Chains A and B, each alone.
Chain A
Amino acid sequence: MAKRIDISGLHAFYGAVHAIEDISMTIEPRSVTAFIGPSGCGKSTFLRTLNRMHEVIPGARVEGKVMLDDEDLYDASVDPVAVRRLVGMVFQRPNPFPTMSIYDNVAAGLKLNGVRRKSQLDDIVEESLKGANLWNEVKDRLGKPGAGLSGGQQQRLCIARAIAVQPQVLLMDEPCSALDPISTLAIEDLIDKLKAQYTIVIVTHNMQQAARVSDRTAFFNIAGTGKPGKLIEIDDTSKIFTNPDQKATEDYITGRFG
């Protein structure tokens, strides 16, 4: 299920603002890649270019190539809607559909894909909630609103919703920043479990989290206000956190700035 992502020469813009500049990297399947860097360095923007969510903001555009195995996501013939069905996303704040039950939240993406049979929906909803380590907590109240769960449960519900459609890649944009430490731990355990099946990319502000959950870490930085964000280096997480090649990376992870 998991696919490799190959990015080359990628630029992203918001209108006239050049948000990220010339990024190239390879993201391996069945691994966790973490993006770290100071606020405003473009890591979230970059993440959103990987499922073409960047362009839903008016005036936003992208240059460069993103290959999912051998398919160019930005080819003129590619429908962004189809891309987002292959590359799932989990957001910073848990955003279950507020008017839907827990069950319907998980089933929402399946219904978009034309799954209508009740028994099939039941199976996939259960499987996805189990996959998101949420099943035992909600199995007796699947008909209750998803918005009634705790923040951490809501975030796992969003993960269940994302994996229910069996994406190739799972993007996570600071998935724990709105959560308490216990819920954060639950999500981190989940990420560790999910990487057996998915290519996972996670943006995080928490360097310990990057160190705990990721196999590879990419450090992004920005030369100054108004300048585009850049990829400084990407390497195995253990190397980035012990012996990075770049001075800026070392300064950042040792807390000298950021």
Chain B
Amino acid sequence: MTTETGVEARAGTRAGAAGTAMSTGRAGDRIFAGAARGSGITVLVIVAAIAAFLVWKAIPALRENEAGFLTTEEWNPNAQPPRFGIAQLAFGTALSSLLAMLMATPVAIGIALFISFYSPRRLASGLGYIVDLLAAVPSIVYGLWGLIFLAQHMDKVSGFLNAALGWFPLFGGDSPGKNSIFTGSVVLAIMILPIISSISREVFLQVPRPNIEAALALGATRWEMIRLSVLPYGRSGMIGASMLGLGRAMGETIAVAMVLTFVPGINWHILENGGSTFAANIANSFAEATETGRGALIASGLVLFVITLLVNMAARAVVARRKEFV
């Protein structure tokens, strides 16, 4: 409220100083304020409308569902009676995007640190540009690459991991394959690398010079300076960046749909073929879905939306906990 008054007061002064029609300035001010407010309200209306639409379309399908929606692994909404549940989809989505985040975050932060503090300036700008270019590659291209190139070579990596680390449940299983959650996660990791890296870089660029000099003047080496000044300052930004990457990985559709081979059932062995995600399942099943099938897919989309929301809220909670020190 106070801001608004301040803005109006300033606009009034300027109109007065100009000496011409005072009301013109006020009208312009009012139109601008109205337009800005209208835009803000439009966003809320759109979000509310989407949510209402999703719920509206999902309810009939959920009514007909003969199985527990949250706990069932099978997905047969087109059968009579329809039986479908999101357990496998939620599992596949969470596992593949968490793996992608775990793989991408350290590399992305390493890239950002190298560009910001280690590389010569000319190399830094070129490298930053190339990393940003990764974000501009359409996801269908990642999907093609993942399917045609990466998957064909992943079976050796998977086989090796399975043989060496098979005692660890995630890497266990009898038949490491090409079109596994693991392969999908690698593709996702590459896709979310640029966003994590460029946001981290932005954050690192904002580290106040005095903080950096404080560490250097104490006799910190470059790495010690990064540890003392840069990483603590950038902590919330890095968490935010990797959460955004996680969100992107969860919603990614086409690349995952192309890479994964659908095998029913939850499988903890990430090196074996199989798995599915919310988005990939929607992309794969929508075309041949019945009315109930579409409702079921929309319901699963609603769940993805809620999970993404929770991820973002969790990220904010983590950031807020450190607030006292930032």
Q: A interface vs B, CB < 8 Å?
A: 51, 53, 56, 58, 81-85, 88-89, 91, 93, 95-100, 108-109, 112-113, 145, 147, 158, 161-162, 165
Contacts and interface: CB of A to CB of B under 8 A. Distances in A.
Interface string B300-326: 000000000000000000000010111
Given A97-B229, A98-B325, A108-B228, A84 B235 contact: no
Contacts, number: 74
A99 B210 contact: no
23 contacts: A53-B217, A56-B216, A81-B219, A84-B218, A84-B220, A88-B217, A88-B218, A91-B210, A95-B213, A97-B211, A97-B229, A98-B326, A99-B232, A99-B322, A100-B325, A109-B218, A109-B219, A112-B219, A112-B228, A145-B325, A161-B214, A161-B218, A162-B217
A83 B217 CA distance: 9
A96 B217 contact: no
Nearest to B211: A95
A97 B217 contact: no
A95 B210 contact: yes
A76 B220 CA distance: 19
Interface in B226-258: 228-229, 232-233, 235
Contacts of A97: 211, 214-215, 228-229, 232
The 4 closest A-B pairs by CB, nearest first: A85-B219, A99-B232, A95-B210, A89-B217
A82 B219 CA distance: 6
B224 interface: yes
A162 B121 contact: no
B221 interface: yes
A145 to B, nearest CB: 5
A98 B214 CA distance: 11
A142 to B, nearest CB: 14
A51 B217 contact: yes
Nearest to A83: B219
A96 B214 contact: yes
Given A98-B233, A109-B219, 4 more contacts: A56-B212, A84-B217, A91-B214, A161-B214
A84 B214 contact: no
